[in-house]
Amino acid sequence: MGDAGGSAPAACGRSPGSICAKKKPGPAALSPGMARLYGEGMETFEIFLACVPGLEPVLAEEAAALGLSGPVVTPGGVTVQGGWDAVRRANLCLRGASRVLVRFDTFRAMHLSQLDKRARKVDWASVLRADVPVRVEVSCKRSKIYHQGAAKQRIETAIAEELGAEISAEAEIRVMARIEDNAVTLSLDTSGAPLHRRGHKLAIGKAPLRETLAALFLRQMGYDGAEPVVDPMCGSGTIPIEAAEWAAGLVPGRSRSFAFEQMAGAEPAALEALRGAVPRELPFAFYGYDRDQGAVRSAAQNAERAGVDHLVRFACQPVSELAPPEGPAGIVLVNPPYGARIGKSKLLYALYGSLGQVLKARFRGWRVGVVTSDQGLARATGLPFKAPGPVVPHGPLKIRLYRTGVL
């Protein structure tokens, strides 16, 4: 059973000119390593937007629509350039990203004493605060420094003695050092908890689709927040709730906190301006159905916590009773059960066949997307699917989006 995001509020949209944070006096200046990377006077980071493998190009489209500078698809995500303003907007406003990492310094180190010396020269105060605990993670690959524990200790000591921050294994702020081919790259996890944890979904179904993944599938369907969305097997309601938030201009990160709020670049006023966008009025609604009354009840509670209960209609009904709502045509996006996930696939062919018959007979003018791990089940719908989307990991399974044009 399925679960969920394009218009964003003006604060999250493309802004004129540079998207980089304005230069500030004092410690926020570019560190020597980043100056070597980007040139003197350019206050930008390389920002990595992580996402589920296979859907990187879809996230790149979203990043470009948000106005993030120079999105480039890389394995496992998208890189962009920007300052703290871009970090804020990426965390709060991107629906498809699972995490936002900032690369803030790089240097070469051939041995531990050199690592110790150069780590002490890093401008830690430009990104970290002395009053906030930090934890350090290190990986080594193809380098003369091969002992991760020893490298970790050198970097921890540099932070503790040069910045004065406490080192704690339980700290939320995470500094990551990648030592590869004798080059040390320092990054920060600016998100904290994964970004699919929007902060307002407490009840989940048997096999929920993460909000970030559902948002990317919606974008693959061509959704831009300007049409209704129906989910015939909605589970805990992620798909219609995500679509409704998107259409209303509610930023996905409005109900949660982020690690960057405890970093040197945090600007609470700018953050609250993004969170406080007023939702738009819409001339259409969103719909979720499920034959499980408990799932429908949970979905309604999730919609209320998300502040979109006035936009999303949930009801308990089987696929055979599915009918298009009044108003304009839109998208049907469904994440039905598939054999390896909930039931035995042989027993599901009839369900998929019934779904396909109902959609072909009653949803003329709509576009349909079906998420499944089983191509045979997708074919059982009899729907005129285009070429299937890329294979995407979903827990232990591999799933794909099968989508039609206008029926």
Domain regions of the chain by residue span? 10-189, 211-252+274-406
Give the torsion sign (CA, 345, 348, 350, 353): negative
Query: Which residue is associated with the tokens 């409704």?
Result: 244
Question: pLDDT-based confidence at 308, cuts 50/70/90?
Answer: very high
Give the torsion sign (CA, 112, 115, 117, 120): negative
Q: How far is CA 163 from the centre of its chain?
A: 31
**Which pLDDT belongs to residue 268?**
86
pLDDT in tens, 206-246: 657 999 999 999 999 999 999 999 999 999 999 999 999 99
Over range 276-293, report the average pLDDT. Answer: 92
Query: Looking at domain 10-189, which CATH architecture does it have?
Result: 2-Layer Sandwich (3.30)
Over range 155-171, report the average pLDDT. Answer: 96
Domain topology for 211-252+274-406: Rossmann fold (3.40.50)
Question: pLDDT-based confidence at 343, cuts 50/70/90?
Answer: low
Task: Record the pTM.
Answer: 0.87
Question: pLDDT-based confidence at 205, cuts 50/70/90?
Answer: low
**Does residue 140 surpass a pLDDT of 90?**
yes
**Which pLDDT belongs to residue 203?**
59
Question: pLDDT-based confidence at 12, cuts 50/70/90?
Answer: low
Give the torsion sign (CA, 44, 50, 56, 59): negative
Between these two residues, 29 and 395, which has the higher pLDDT value? 395
Question: pLDDT-based confidence at 91, cuts 50/70/90?
Answer: very high
Q: Give dist(CA 34, CA 246) in Å, integer.
A: 35
**Burial letters for 12-44: b for 16+ Cβ neighbours within 10 Å, e otherwise?**
beeeeebbbbeeeeeebebbbbbeebeeeeebb
Helix, strand, coil percentages, rounded to 5, for the chain: 35, 20, 45
| Residues with Cβ within 8 Å of residue 193, at least 6 apart in sequence | 256
* Contact in structure between 223 and 18 (CB atoms under 8 Å): no
